[in-house]
């Protein structure tokens, strides 16, 4: 069966279950993720790559759609290395590359960790997009990246673990306690970032997030490399533990140690590079990506300007106050009229990020009730 995505057409198995049982794995629901990835990687290379050519790894390539789109659509001089351990996937990637006349690639049929280990400190960008957790591949992915201005891209679909419904699985895979709640997806991002940061410090590397999103059934993070023991030490200043008490987040520094009832360790800084977000929006618009992609990126641009860990769940606050939830635009505009920053979160349509305190937000909800 032939399908089209972005600028490429490609063959996929006729029977598609989107499980490990598929002859060659392909998930059509990840198109939004791949669109965003094209925009972010192009934007990152234009901002931070000084090389004439950038090397990109798609270590778990499946049908090859992600890596082939990078080779075809990223407006930079790139060479993409696509790898999959499945011999049928390897053949399918070759067929799809030929179908699209793509030759700025190399194709491998190896275990992902062996493939990455053979390319020590070689790639400008490494993309790990597995079925499930990226945890088994992160260490070798870090080792295969250049140590200054490399980009590590990680997808995790094991949101049951990262979002707190499977706590033991989160401990096994990410060495962290998860946090339940309406903003659990943001904390899933923060746990994944924090885990990758801790792994990088053993190689005297600092990983810093430049973009992240939680969409549909997965979370996705992008981290930039920097080298040096002193820089790596800074990672621990960006880690901590968080406790949720009726929507209020209590934060402890990593140096204070774990305390029962807290989630973490996790990343407690800003998840976004504002310049990169803005550039990605322009790239996505110029490429004619779907409205949903633009909307996610623009929501994230608004979020990135607010230094708040988690969000306020307006449904929870309204329940406490025993009032109905006002329109989200009303809440945002009211807070802005009061001189605060405010944004609707991209991962929760009823979540608000703001530098106003909870008391002010409650007053906005109560004022709406009085007007009604």
Residues belonging to the binding site for S-adenosyl-L-methionine are 34, 66, 84, 111-112
Strand locations in 6-124, DSSP E?
8-11, 54-58, 78-83, 105-108
Instruction: Using alpha carbons only, give the angle 66, 347, 350 rounded to the nearest 5 degrees.
Output: 160
Q: Within 10 A of 77 (CB to CB), how many other CB atoms are there?
A: 12
Give φ, ψ of 272 to 5 degrees: -130, 145
Q: Helices in 145-256 by DSSP H: which ranges?
A: 159-162, 167-174, 184-201, 229-233
What is the distance between the alpha carbons of residues 245 and 309, in angstroms, rounded to a whole number? Answer: 13
Beta-strand relationship, 342-344 and 351-354: antiparallel
- Contact present, 207 and 273 (Cβ < 8 Å): no
Instruction: Using alpha carbons only, give the angle 43, 285, 299 rounded to the nearest 5 degrees.
Output: 80
- Give the C-alpha distances (Å, rounded to integers) separating 30 from 36, 62, 131, 278: 10, 13, 12, 22
Peptide bond between residue 265 and the one before it cis (omega within 30 degrees of 0) = yes
What is the distance between the alpha carbons of residues 183 and 310, in angstroms, rounded to a whole number? Answer: 6
Tokens 């798609």 label which residue? 58
For residue 264, what is the DSSP state?
Answer: E
- Contact present, 196 and 221 (Cβ < 8 Å): yes
Give the residue ranges of the annotated binding site. 34, 66, 84, 111-112
């Amino acid at each position: 069966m032939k399908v089209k995505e972005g600028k490429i057409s490609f063959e996929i198995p006729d029977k598609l279950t989107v499980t490990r049982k598929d002859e060659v794995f392909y998930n059509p629901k990840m198109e939004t993720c791949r669109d965003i990835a094209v925009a972010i990687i192009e934007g990152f290379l234009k901002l931070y790559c000084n090389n004439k050519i950038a090397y990109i790894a798609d270590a778990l390539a499946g049908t090859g759609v992600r890596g082939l789109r990078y080779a075809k659509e990223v407006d930079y001089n790139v060479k993409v290395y696509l790898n999959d351990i499945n011999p049928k996937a390897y053949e399918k990637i070759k067929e799809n590359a030929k179908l699209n006349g793509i030759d700025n690639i190399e194709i491998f049929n190896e275990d992902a960790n062996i493939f990455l280990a053979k390319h020590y400190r070689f790639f400008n960008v490494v993309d790990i997009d597995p079925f499930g957790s990226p945890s088994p591949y992160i260490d070798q992915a870090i080792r295969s990246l250049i140590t200054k201005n490399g980009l590590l891209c990680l997808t995790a679909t094991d949101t049951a673990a990262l979002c707190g419904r499977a706590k033991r699985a989160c401990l096994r895979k990410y060495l962290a306690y998860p946090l339940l709640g309406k903003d659990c997806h943001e904390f899933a991002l923060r746990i994944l970032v924090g885990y990758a940061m801790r792994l990088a410090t053993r190689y005297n590397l600092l990983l810093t997030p430049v973009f992240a999103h939680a969409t549909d059934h997965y979370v996705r993070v992008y981290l930039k490399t920097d080298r040096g023991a002193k820089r790596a030490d800074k990672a621990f200043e960006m880690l901590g533990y968080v406790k949720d008490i009726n929507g209020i987040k209590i934060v402890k520094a990593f140096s204070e140690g774990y305390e029962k009832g807290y989630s973490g360790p996790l990343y407690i800084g800003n998840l976004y590079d504002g310049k990169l977000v803005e550039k990605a929006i322009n790239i996505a618009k110029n490429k004619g990506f779907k409205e949903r992609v633009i909307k996610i990126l623009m929501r994230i641009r608004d979020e990135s300007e607010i230094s708040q860990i988690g969000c306020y769940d307006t449904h929870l606050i309204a329940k406490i106050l025993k009032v109905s939830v006002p329109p989200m635009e009303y809440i945002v505009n009211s807070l802005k009229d009061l001189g605060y920053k405010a944004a609707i979160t991209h991962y929760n349509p009823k979540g608000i990020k703001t530098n106003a305190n909870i008391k002010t937000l409650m007053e906005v909800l109560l004022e709406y009730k009085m007007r009604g």
